[in-house]
Structure 1
Amino acid sequence: MPIYLYWGEDEFAIAQAASALQTQYLDPQWASFNYDKVIPDQADGVIQGLNLAMTPVFGVGCRLVWLVDTTLTQQCSEPLLAELERTLPVLPETSVVLLTSRNKPDGRLKSTKLLQKWANIREFSLIPPWKTDLLLQQVRQVAQETGVKLTTAGAELLAQAVGNNTRQLFCELEKLRLYSGEQRGQTTPPLDAAVIASLVIVNTQSSLQLAAAIRQRQTAQALELVIDLINRNEPALRIVATLVGQFRIWLWVKLMVESGVRDEAEIARAAEVSNPKRIYFLQQEVKPLSLRRLRRTLGLLLDLETRLKQGAEEVSTLQTKIIELCQ
């Protein structure tokens, strides 16, 4: 009676994991009889899902019941909790229950504690755009899973192109896999940056480039980047979140360096940088900056975030504050 709880904002990765469970547990010939997807707007959806999970499997294989966007780990009534406590321990061995949610489980709830006892819990959160080393690691991992060989420069370009969009990453790697098989045969060398640039839509304008333009006081370029990001439907609050994350890293690196810390691993821990090898490059980036300017920049960014959350017009507010940040 495997029970799985998948949560996080990466809906595509959750869907991929759910598909893997279907392949693992369902017999293809009996899947239409043994697979049920309970959507959140169904009345008494959780009770319905539990009843389906208690139903004996038809034919061979297992039964899989997927409770989509469940709120069990955010709110749970006493009657529903009692039903969970009664049902989960006695689920048939041939039943598999998958619960998914965008929100992090509330560890204070009895329902969450119950699921922590019975379920395999896995997080599917999006990698923050400023954690470029983790994005590169994700590209390499998925490329290996899909059988696509990439050079170092090719992997870096693909990570820059797709960011933390896992759906686009899988789509682009599938395109590269087909190209590699058609063009090169079985003995395919790793795909380099030139090939990837010709096949993948590379968005050279990014929020990280915007952060770099602000750091270098390049007002005109920063304003162009803002327009490019907005035209690509990048949410203003997500742009600001990336800027805050990047300037926070720069502030910590500058603070540690001026405090006399030389150990790159210690600086990486303080700045929450997973790869200590990045610290050398970050130190070069913050060398011409003062602590006062970095602190003031973060204050201005938080003020920008507040204004946007209060409903200020996005484009003009971003442009005005970007000019102020560059100056």
Structure 2
Amino acid sequence: MPIHLIWGDDYEACNREIEEIIQTVIDPSWKSFNYSQIDGNDQKQNFRGLEEVQSAPLGSGGRVVLVRRSPFCNGCSIELANKLEQAIKLIPNNTYLILNNSNKPDKRLKTTKLIEKSIQSNSFSKEKSFLLPLPWDINGQRNLVKNILYKLNLKMNHEAIDLIVESIGNDSSLINTELQKLSLLSEAVNGKSNTNKPQEISKELVTKIIQNNSTNALEIANLLLQGKKIIALNKIQSLLKNGEPALRLIITLTGQSRGWLWVHLLDAQGNQDVKEIAKLAGIANPKRIFVIRKQIQGKSLKVLLELMQKLLKIEASIKSGANPIDSFKDNLLTDSKILTNN
């Protein structure tokens, strides 16, 4: 009765882990019979999932029942908890129950204790957490890049890793996508290695691809800072039409805006230590502080806060499924009211 408890806000890493289990357990020829995905927000589906997990797989291979937004470790009804207690004893050895939630399991709950006890008693069961580092946690972001490099059997030096951190931040999905692109380009340039050794990605290649991708976005950020909204929107529209991912664009813009805001606030407090400012602001390269100071010279806190607010609204709108260009237009061309003492 293998149970996998997978949680955390790094959705990309969670999905990779889940997909790896599915590919290992299920025979592709029998997947339509032996794979079920349950929405944990639906009480009826939860009960159905607990029924299905008691069934042995059809044909060859194993069965997987995946519960997205699982309620079992974060609060569920007494009836559902009782059903879990009954079902968990009847799960066949070749049927896997995967419980996935972005939140940390509540260890005080009876259901959590039951699941963790079951995991401990079965060598095929596992609990894994995948948490994104905070925007100002540079070492955490470096480790995130290193972990994805390891998964893709790639390697690069610390300078190349810092370039990726500066350009992408803690977006696990984008990091994974860009590293795969870099891997393919490296193979095209250098040829595919015949060994199992990690493929090395040079700093020069990272600089060429990653920084070139963010150049236009940084130019747009500067236009927005100068109040040239129409010119910025035209460039945004052109980038999106040419296939630039909307989320990568907005993440670069918010990252730049966040850096401006932090440096402005820390400078206002009289902090002159460039390394400390870079650490607090989540900027990998302290030399960027001097550039940022020039960019925001003469800009008020109110202007920076307003820009940051607009960009965060755009990001939330795009992630909610809105049309990207409409999100940019609706928010950038609308005046915001910021409460500040400055």
TM-score range, shorter chain: 0.5 to 0.7
Give distance in 2, aligned partners of 1:157 and 1:269: 16
Corresponding residue for 2:305? 298
Assess, with a 3 A threshold, how the Cα gap between structure 1 residues 170 and 289 changes in structure 2: closer, same or farther: closer
Q: How many residue pairs get matched?
A: 314
Match of 1:172 among 177, 181, 191: 181
Partners of 1:255 and 1:291 within 8 A in 2 = no
- Identical positions, percent: 19
Residue 17 in 1 paired to residue 27 in 2? no
Q: How does 1:125-274 map to 2 (within 5 A)?
A: 138-150=144-156, 160=167, 164-165=173-174, 168-169=177-178, 171-173=180-182, 175-176=184-185, 178-179=187-188, 182=191, 190-192=200-202, 203-204=213-214, 207-215=217-225, 222-231=232-241, 232=243, 235=246, 239=250, 243-262=253-272, 267=277, 270-271=280-281, 273=282
C-alpha distance in structure 1 between counterparts of 2:140 and 2:259, whole Å: 15
Q: Extract unaligned runs of 5+ from structure 2.
A: 120-126, 336-342
**TM-score between both structures, scaled by the size of structure 1:** 0.63
Q: Look up the match of 1:45.
A: 45
**For 2:189 and 2:311, how far apart are their aligned partners in 1?**
45
Q: Deviations over 1:273-321 (max 9, x none)?
A: 2x6x534422541256358613432135426766996x99545445536
* Conserved? CA contact 2:258–2:308, under 8 Å: no
Computed over aligned residues only, the root mean square deviation of the Cα atoms, in angstroms, reads: 5.4
> How far did residue 85 of structure 1 move?
3.7
1:17 CA displacement: 0.8
Aligned to 2:124: none
1:196-254 per-residue CA deviation (whole Å, 9 max, x = no partner) reads 79999963456455334444677686344422344347558983x76455433333333
2-side partners of 1:245 and 1:237: how far apart? 10
Instruction: State the TM-score, normalized to the length of structure 2.
Output: 0.61
CA distance in 2, matches of 1:213, 1:77: 52
Shift, 1:98, TM fit: 0.7
Q: Which runs of 5+ in 1 are unaligned?
A: 323-327
The 3 A distance-change label for structure 1 pair 61 and 175 is same
Partners of 2:330 and 2:32 in 1: CA distance: 54
Query: Bigger CA drift: 220-229 or 27-36?
Result: 27-36
CA contact (8 A) 1:146 1:177 kept: no
- SS state of the match for residue 39, structure 2? coil
Task: Give the direction of change, closer, same or farther, for the CA distance of 1:314–1:270 in structure 2 (3 Å limit).
Answer: same
Q: Alpha carbons of 1:75 and 1:2: their partners in 2 closer, same or farther (altered >3 Å)?
A: same
Question: Alpha-carbon deviation of 1:99?
Answer: 2.0
